Amino acid sequence: MILLSPAAEQILDVILRKPGCLMEELLNECPALTWNQVFIEVDRLSRDGEVRLMRKGPSQYVVMRGGPGQAHGSVTAAR
């Protein structure tokens, strides 16, 4: 069982409410978190397979819920 930080719980809540949201939208939905906090948590969640990142365009990434066996590496590896 993965223990989630409050920031990770907030991020996952947004992703569940808005599947396939852009990183920009995720940042806007988490105003209490800094850009760095969101990036670090999304990177960790991605490594744990909890979220997936897909490149949509230049500097645009879609964040969606992951699942078992869907770890895709870090945010930078999703390019």
Distance (Å, whole) CA 76 – CA 18: 22
- Beta strand extents in the chain (DSSP E only): 21-22, 51-57, 60-65
CB burial of residue 12 (10 Å; 0-12, 13-18, 19+): middle
Distance (Å, whole) CA 57 – CA 76: 14
Where are the domains positioned within the chain?
Answer: 6-78
pTM for this model (two decimals)? 0.77
What angle in degrees, to the nearest 10, is found between the helix axes of 35-47 and 6-17?
Answer: 80
Model confidence pLDDT, tens digit, residues 2-60: 678 999 999 999 999 998 999 999 999 999 999 999 999 999 999 999 999 999 988 88
Matching CATH number, 6-78, of 3.40.1080.10, 3.40.50.1000, 1.10.10.10, 2.30.40.10: 1.10.10.10
